[in-house]
Amino acid sequence: MRTNKYTVRIDKEACIGCGVCNELAPKIFTSDNEMKSELRQDAEIDEKLLLKAAEECASGAIVIIDNETGEQLWPKND
């Protein structure tokens, strides 16, 4: 999914289905039939909430790229 600022994807291999993102941002995230997170097709993107959900993700499965710089904002690549 692409917003004005970010490109967002869920790494399904990394997702453990804990549901934190769904709880924090239910207008952005939902779960598939394996209880792994998905981005809603009709998502109302609140960028602060999106970043918060990514930061709280236990497995780092929410990948956020800055569209302008190409830098991966989350998970951090230290």
Q: Of 55, 30, 58, whose CA–CA distance to 44 is shortest?
A: 30
Q: Is residue 17 included in any domain, yes or no?
A: yes
Whether pLDDT at 8 is above 70: yes
39-69 residue pLDDT tens: 998 887 899 999 999 999 999 999 999 999 9
pTM for the full predicted model: 0.91
Print the domain residue range for 61.
Answer: 6-74
User: Count of domains in the chain?
Assistant: 1
Say if residue 30 is exposed, middle or buried (CB neighbours under 10 Å; 0-12, 13-18, 19+): middle
Angle at 44 between CA 20 and CA 29, to 5 degrees: 25
CATH number at residue 35: 3.30.70.20
Identify the pLDDT of residue 77: 77
Q: Is residue 1 included in any domain, yes or no?
A: no
